[in-house]
Amino acid sequence: MPDKATVNRRWFVSTSSVGVAMAATRTRAQESSLSEPTLLATPTGEVRVQITLTLGDTVLTATMNDSQTSREFVGLLPLTLTLSDYNQTEKISDLPGPLTVDDSLPGFDPSPGDITYYAPWGNLTIFYRDFGPAAGLVHLGTIDEGWEALERTDPFEVTFALLEREGTAVSVVIGDVEVDAHLFDNPAAHDLISMLPLSLTFRDYAGQEKLAELPRSLSMDGAPSEASAMPGDITYYAPDQVIVLLYEPIDSFPGIVPIGRFDGSIQAITDQRGDFHAQIRMAAEEQSI
């Protein structure tokens, strides 16, 4: 079987009137000649997270958008991939699994430095040369600067990780397991820090998060009216006065205030069944629940 990089990409056209799908094999260069109104669509939503791309001794930063597809990709991090060249225009790599794509966003017109997901192949695509609009391409984010480091012909490894945020280091302790996290520099997070150490009883909600009632409400000064969240985020849900530990992505919703994020794996959180006790404390503290 030919290597994927040598095979033309497919453009799928849905014909709803007869309930069938016709597939025509095209290169992306041919796709770019399609009418722009049907191809040019990008995810909306505020920029909310930065990541790093490490190539040997070179570290690049990228800003990701707030689309569902982007949030799912960020939820996979840290992730090491081998990037290969495609068409002397982009670097591509398979992902561990498919990402969710909004069917109402049929394509994207990439520029150098854009990080994208090519839905028909299910791979990550990073552009280092300009290219026209392509069907099935979903914008995830953009390398802030230095994308020229990708201009090499040989395959190479890149490690994608969340950019370490400035904030207050804390630990969430569940039995003998300690999970590291950082609380952000905002009024709601400051209020939570003032309560630490804090022992809470968490319960599962909707198969997407663990939540616990707080002793008192947190400040909403400067808080957004609504926000989305991704796995590993720590949020405050103001209407119910609860702290929320996310293990599934959720769309933007009123009352959600981002207050922190776990530094690494959240498996210890997702493994909990039923109600469980946890203590949130400053990382330097040596206390037991």
Domain boundaries of the chain, sorted by first residue: 4-162, 168-282
Return the pLDDT at 211.
97
HSE-CB of 111 using CA atoms within 13 angstroms:
7
Would you say residue 9 has pLDDT above 70? no
Instruction: Name every residue whose Cβ is closer than 8 Å to that of residue 137 and which is 6 or more positions away in sequence.
Output: 107, 108, 110, 116, 117, 118, 119, 125
172 within 8 A of 179, measured Cβ to Cβ: yes
Distance CA 243, CA 222 (A): 18
Short-list 69, 49, 57, 236, CA closest to 144:
49
Identify the residue whose tokens are 């056209």.
13
Pick the CATH number of 4-162 from 2.60.120.10, 2.40.100.20, 3.40.950.10, 3.40.50.720: 2.40.100.20
Short-list 124, 137, 121, 128, CA closest to 40:
137
Mean pLDDT of 245-257: 92
Mean pLDDT of 258-282: 92
In what helix (H) or strand (E) does residue 168 lie, and over which residues does it extend? strand 168-174
Would you say residue 191 has pLDDT above 70? yes
Predicted TM-score (pTM) of this structure: 0.52
Short-list 141, 147, 133, CA closest to 77:
141
Return the pLDDT at 74.
87
pLDDT band at 252 (very low <50, low <70, confident <90, very high): confident
Would you say residue 13 has pLDDT above 70? no
Distance CA 163, CA 166 (A): 10
Return the pLDDT at 20.
28
pLDDT band at 288 (very low <50, low <70, confident <90, very high): very low
Distance CA 243, CA 258 (A): 10
pLDDT band at 148 (very low <50, low <70, confident <90, very high): very high
List, as one string, the DSSP characters of 255-280.
Answer: TEEEEEEESS--HHHHT--S-EEEEE
Candidate from 54-58, 74-78, 116-120 with smallest mean pLDDT: 74-78
Return the pLDDT at 83.
97
pLDDT band at 249 (very low <50, low <70, confident <90, very high): confident
In what helix (H) or strand (E) does residue 228 lie, and over which residues does it extend? strand 226-229
Pick the CATH number of 168-282 from 2.40.100.20, 1.20.140.10, 1.10.510.10, 3.20.20.70: 2.40.100.20
pLDDT band at 163 (very low <50, low <70, confident <90, very high): confident
Return the pLDDT at 109.
94
Judge whether 4-162 and 168-282 match in fold.
yes
Distance CA 5, CA 12 (A): 19
Task: Calculate the average pLDDT of the chain.
Answer: 81
Return the pLDDT at 8.
39
pLDDT band at 164 (very low <50, low <70, confident <90, very high): low
> Which pair of structure tokens corresponds to residue 227?
């926000």
The helix/strand/coil state of 252 is strand
pLDDT band at 208 (very low <50, low <70, confident <90, very high): very high
Identify the residue whose tokens are 């225009």.
89
